[in-house]
Amino acid sequence: MSVHQAAELQFERIASEFGSWRAIADHERSPAPAWWWGPAMEVLDETKAMPPELCVSFELPPGSSYGDAAEVLMKALADQTLLSWPDEFPRKFHQPDPA
């Protein structure tokens, strides 16, 4: 099975988002965004190895597959009861304290 070029491009974008999201402290990080579900589902069974830079972004060893990265995304989403809004990604929005 070969990863469609559009799916590869989506995963490049998501890898960057995932890295930015993981770089934020847990208590300040927004929930994982719902827009990761579709691309993750699309390549869940894909065995093609990702480029090394994508493996690093997903905190996976070199040679990991697109399916491996999809599992990482699914785990990030699995236990959530809320999803982030686009303007609250990757960091939670905090209301300023009233003066």
For the purposes of burial, counting CB atoms within 10 Å of the CB of 39, is it exposed (0-12), middle (13-18) or buried (19 or more)?
buried
* Coil/strand/helix, residue 34: helix
Q: Which domain holds residue 82?
A: 5-88
95 within some domain? no
pTM of the prediction?
A: 0.79
97 within some domain? no
Count structural domains, the chain: 1
* Coil/strand/helix, residue 72: helix
| More confident position, 87 or 20 | 20
| pLDDT tens-digit readout, 26-50 | 888 888 888 888 889 989 999 999 9
Query: What is the dihedral sign for C-alpha 77, 9, 55, 17?
Result: negative
